[in-house]
Structure 1
Amino acid sequence: MIRSMTGFGDAAGEIDGVHYALELRSLNNKYFKAVIRMPEQIAGLEAELESALRKSVHRGSFTMTIKMRMSDANAASRVNDEAILAYLDHLETIKSKIDDNNSVHIDLTQLLALPGVLQPAEDDETIMAKARGVLKDLLKDAIVKMNQMRVVEGESLAADLMKHRTFILERTEQVKQRASVVIEEYHDRLRSRVDQLMARAELSVGEGDLMKEVAVYADRSDISEEITRTIGHLDQLEQIIGRDDAEPVGRTLDFLAQELLREANTIASKSNDATISRAIVEVKSAIDRIKEQVQNVE
């Protein structure tokens, strides 16, 4: 079973009057990369959440977005009495020095904007302690949903990869059959050409000398090993796609695609036959499509 690296999952929950919402998106990447966006009050949980995510996935680019909304009672700020009294004492001292006619008035509402006067109902440590458990549970639920989507898309990828694999195998079998005919055709062409040249010169060439030339050509254009390795790679490709476990196979598939392309290039360089060349062009095109698809396989 192969899984795509593209997916989405979300989860939401509420505890102690605080509503949490978590969204998780994944895209393809050669390595693991996580970007986490969350409120500043709970930013200290970023490392824990990234570690939990890393244990559940293997590679890909992940974006986690966390939103937190408090109820009115929890969101209300607390007035720091000591801070505002300290400001008032200081202002009264200044007022007594510059205001003999009592023309200066102190607006208490303006004092609320001063640093340290308004404080959150709960400090960040308390908020993080409450959020830690619920966010980890929400992350688990979001990962489950994301992986379900990745499996569904992975099934489509597997079907497409198998289609290209079948096409390459068919063309490889055609090349294999054609390769055995090419040597015979070369022998016939060489015999005909030599006979024409020798007839003009009234000379003759022994069959042994002709067979040596054919043998050299056959050895130079032999592609049997490349065909055998290509079929072996295709068999391995089928086995990997048909696996039932959830182990990542994207890197292995990418390696096989590179090996298939290497064998195809070798066959193309060895063969001077137009039919084989056309078949290899089609094979290389199918391999390129496989390489594109496996970039999104985990």
Structure 2
Amino acid sequence: MTGQTTDRDSGSLLAARKNADDMILSMTGYGESQCHDDGVHYALELRSVNNRYFKASIKLPETLAVLEAEVEKLLRARLIRGSVNCTLRLRNTSAEAAQDVNVAALQRYVEQLGRITTNGPVQIDLAAVLALPGVCQPPEIGESERERQFSVLSKLVNQALDRLVEMRRTEGQALREDLLLHCERIRENLAAVADQAPQVMKDYHQRLLQRANELLAGSSLQLQLDDVRREVAVYAERCDVHEEISRLRSHLDQFERLCDKGEHAGRKLDFLAQEMLREANTIGSKANDALIAHHVVEIKSAIDRLKEQVQNVE
């Protein structure tokens, strides 16, 4: 029936929402919100970029500066990492917008100007004097008015956060696709390394036999196959990369799972990328083979790309 939601539809919506919430988030985002309340126009803007930790820079009008700590709490409740800039601009069009003149401060400025003038009376620019520090001040705000303004401000912050987080999620989806693309590149080259590793032993065995036969040619000495096998075994133990391949695959599996299920996985992804690079370096140093060396270069290039990209994952 039109307008009704079935249990199956509700389950699908919940699953879709859960999948969206589980995705990794970028630390790059933007959100804004505006409203008009009691003759005052509020315009709030949030910008975030990557940072290893959470860092907030909050700029509020002087009359609301005491609320900066409360605004930071709202930001921390929704954001785990990143540098966040929060700016609020007010435009007051009501009669209460007029600022109070500090008459005592104004008189002191005028007296000082009179004392430093030696050539008779001086013409004072009133606009310039009013712009001097401490002459014009915003009217005092009562506790009830401040609470009302914070109620408006908190709604604006949460609305802007909704938009910022949505942009972070969209950016995170693009990051996820790029990360998984490089993971696939690593996996393909790692499979090629695993395929080539046994051939390295065979090639070494053949080279050793050939070299030994060349050295013993024309002599009465005979080649003992046991000696060759022993030498190949020592070489194999020194150059075996199966454990490194296994660990790198395990790290790769964990990395891909976090890309799909780790909303705040940036630090874990960074750690896994470092571990993958360590295993790749070990493979490159142990496997004395040009083809494996080529694939290791490709693997390390992809891992470097992962390390670069995960710096922007929350």
TM-score range, shorter chain: 0.7 to 0.9
Instruction: For 1:56, give the aligned amino acid.
Output: R
Identity %: 49
Q: Hey, what's the Cα distance between the residues in 2 that align with 1:191 and 1:117?
A: 97
Q: Tell me which amino acid in the other structure corresponds to 1:166.
A: E
CA-to-aligned-CA distance 1:189-211 (integer Å, 9 cap, x gap): 10011011111433112111110
Aligned residue among 64, 74, 80 for 1:52: 74
Q: Closer, same or farther in 2 for the Cα pair 1:230/1:72, shift >3 Å?
A: same
Hey, what does 1:272 align to over in structure 2? 288
Is 1:197 the counterpart of 2:219 in the alignment? Answer: no
Supply the distance in 1 between the matched residues of 2:66 and 2:144 (Cα, whole angstroms): 12
- Residue identity matched to 1:238: E
Whether contact under 8 Å (1:79, 1:119) holds in the other structure is yes
* Separation of aligned partners in 1, 2:235 and 2:134: 90
User: Which AA in structure 2 matches 1:249?
Assistant: A
Q: Is the 8 A contact 2:40 2:94 kept in 1?
A: no
Describe the superposition over 1:229-261 as per-residue Cα deviations: whole angstroms up to 9, x where unpaired: 011111111111111x6x300001000100000
For 2:313, the equivalent position in structure 1 comes to: 297
Rg larger in structure: 1
Structure 1: segments with no counterpart, 5+ residues: 92-103
Equivalents in 1 of 2:156, 2:194: separation in Å? 55
Q: Which amino acid aligns with 2:310?
A: V
Comparing 174-183 and 193-202, the one that deviates more: 193-202
Task: Classify 1:196/1:72 alpha carbon distance in 2 versus 1 (closer, same or farther; 3 Å).
Answer: same
Q: 1:132 aligns with which of 150, 154, 159?
A: 150
- 1:113-163 per-position Cα deviation (integer Å, ceiling 9, x unaligned): 599986644437565333211111100000000011111111111000011
Q: Please state whether the residue corresponding to 2:46 is helix, strand or coil.
A: strand
**In terms of mean alpha carbon deviation, does 54-63 or 193-202 score higher?**
193-202
Counterparts of 1:119 and 1:227, CA distance in 2: 69
Distance 1:183 1:117, change over 3 A: closer
Quick check: 1:41–1:127 contact (8 Å CA) kept in 2? Answer: no
What letter is aligned with 2:150?
R
1: distance between equivalents of 2:159 and 2:99?
Answer: 32
- RMSD across aligned positions (CA): 2.5
Counterpart Cα distance in 2 of 1:115 and 1:65: 23
Normalised TM-score (structure 1)? 0.85
Q: Indicate which of 27, 43, 46 corresponds to 2:65.
A: 43
| 1:123 pairs with one of 128, 138, 141 | 141
Residue aligning to 1:101 = none
Quote how far apart the aligned CAs of 1:51 are.
1.2
Aligned pair in 2 of structure 1 residues 57, 115: CA closer, same or farther (>3 Å)? closer
Kindly indicate whether residue 231 of structure 2 is the aligned counterpart of residue 213 of structure 1: yes
Q: Distance in 2 between matches of 1:52 and 1:241?
A: 27
Deviation at 1:71, TM superposition (A): 1.3
- The total of aligned residue pairs comes to 273
Say if 2:265 is the partner of 1:261: no
Match of 1:5 in 2: 27
Alpha carbons 2:99, 2:136 under 8 Å: kept: yes
Match of 1:177 in 2: 195
Task: Give the match's secondary structure for 2:43.
Answer: strand
What are structure 2's unaligned runs of at least 5 residues? Answer: 1-22, 112-120
Q: How far apart in 1 are the matches of 2:134 and 2:161?
A: 40
The answer to whether 1:160 aligns with 2:187 is no
Question: 2:20 maps to which residue?
Answer: none
| CA–CA separation in structure 2 for the residues paired with 1:116 and 1:284 | 61
Greater mean alpha carbon deviation, residues 177-186 or residues 125-134 = 125-134
